[in-house]
């Protein structure tokens, strides 16, 4: 079974370092897969919002069925705070989707260590 797997990486102090989404939900026919559409919209909006609100372009790679995001290392405290808020919001949104759609999306959070996911 194909599912979206979302992995988030945090420092031991709770700062988000990266996230990675891979796979397709296949919860409906092409163009009607609401799980995939919701996960895609949330994740792309997160990257766009970081760019706009935190004022930097993060490291990211986006392809069909795949998205990787990594926070830059040399950021101001304000940029880190904004990034954490937005990525945490993404995590909450994806977990909300996961609650009712566990067959189609899995969300994991790991703490400690170094990048990448």
**Contact present, 34 and 41 (Cβ < 8 Å):** no
Of 47, 91, 93, 95, the closest CA to residue 67 belongs to 47
Average pLDDT over residues 32-61: 95
Confidence (pTM): 0.90
The predicted model gives 1-24 an average pLDDT of 92
Q: Which fold does the domain 4-111 belong to in CATH?
A: Alpha-Beta Plaits (3.30.70)
The token pair at 29 is 């026919």
Confidence (pLDDT) at 114: 58
């Amino acid at each position: 079974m194909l599912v979206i797997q979302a992995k988030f990486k945090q420092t031991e102090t709770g700062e988000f370092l990266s996230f990675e989404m891979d796979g397709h939900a296949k919860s409906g026919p092409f163009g009607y897969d609401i799980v995939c559409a919701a996960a895609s919209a949330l994740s792309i909006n997160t990257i766009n919002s970081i760019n706009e609100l935190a004022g930097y372009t993060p490291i990211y790679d986006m392809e069909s069925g795949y998205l990787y995001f990594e926070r830059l290392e040399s950021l101001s405290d304000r940029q880190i705070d904004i990034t954490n808020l937005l990525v945490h919001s993404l995590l909450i949104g994806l977990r909300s989707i996961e609650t009712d759609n566990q067959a189609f999306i899995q969300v994991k959070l790991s703490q400690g260590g170094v990048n990448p996911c």
